[in-house]
Amino acid sequence: MKPLNLIALLLFLGGATWALTRSEGVVREVQRTYYSAMRPFLKTGSTLETKARAFMDETRHSKELEVEVDAMKGEVGRLRVIESRFRELEKENSDFRHALNFKKATNFDVVAAQVIRRQPTTWWQTVEIDAGEKQGIGTQLAVLSNEGLVGKIDRPDRERSTVILLTDEKCQVSARVEGTQEVGIISGQRGNQGRDPQLRLKFLSKDASLRPGQRVFTTGRGGIFQANILLGTIEAIEKGALDSEAIVRPSVNFADLGTVFVVLTSAAP
Amino acid sequence: MIRYTLITVLLLLTAFVVQQFIPAFTGLYDSRILLVQLVFLCAAVTVPTPTMLLLAFIGGFLWDAQCALGPQGGDPEIYNQPVEALRFGYSIVLFGAVGYLMHGVQPLFQQGKWQFSAILSGIAIFLYLTAEYLLISFIRGGFFIVRATLEQMLFSSILTMLFSPIIFWILFSIAKMFDHSIYPDADRKRRRS
Domain map of chain B by residue range? 2-69+86-192
CA A167 remoteness from chain centre: 8
Buried/exposed A15-53: b ≥16 CB within 10 Å, e otherwise: bbeebeebeeeebbebbeebbeebeeebeebbeebeeee
Give yes or no for B87 touching A (CB within 8 A): yes
Is the ipTM here above 0.95? no
Q: Is A4 helix (H, G, I), strand (E, B) or coil?
A: helix
Residues of A in contact with B132 (CB under 8 A): 122-123
Q: What is the pLDDT of residues A70-101, one digit of tens each?
A: 788 778 877 877 777 787 788 777 766 655 65
Domain ranges of chain A: 108-269
The radius of gyration computed from the CA coordinates of chain B, to the nearest angstrom, equals 19
A223 Cβ under 8 Å from any chain B Cβ: yes
CATH architecture of the domain with residue range A108-269 = Beta Barrel (2.40)
> Nearest-CA residue of chain A relative to B149?
A191
Helix (H, G, I), strand (E, B) or coil at B34: coil
Asked if residue A269 has pLDDT above 70, the reply is no
Q: What is the pLDDT of residues B89-126, one digit of tens each?
A: 999 999 999 999 999 888 888 888 888 999 999 999 99
pLDDT(A257) > 90 = no
Q: Where does B2-69+86-192 sit in CATH, by number? A: 1.10.1760
- What's the rounded Cα separation, in Å, for the pair B164 and A105? 57
pLDDT of residue A106: 39
Q: Is A247 on the interface with B (CB under 8 A)?
A: no
- The DSSP call for residue B129 is H
Task: Tell me the chain B residues in contact with residue A33 when contact means C-beta distances shorter than 8 Å.
Answer: 65
**Cβ atoms within 10 A of the Cβ of A82, count?**
10
Percent above pLDDT 90 for chain A: 31
Q: How many CA atoms lie within 13 A of B117 on its CB side?
A: 32
Task: Kindly compute the dihedral angle of the four CA atoms of residues A91, A92, A94, A95, in this order, to the nearest 10 degrees.
Answer: 120
Which pLDDT score, from 0 to 100, does residue B110 have?
A: 84
Q: Which amino acid is at B47?
A: V
Residues 53-112 (A) with a CB less than 8 A from some CB of B: none
CB < 8 Å to B93, chain A: 16, 20
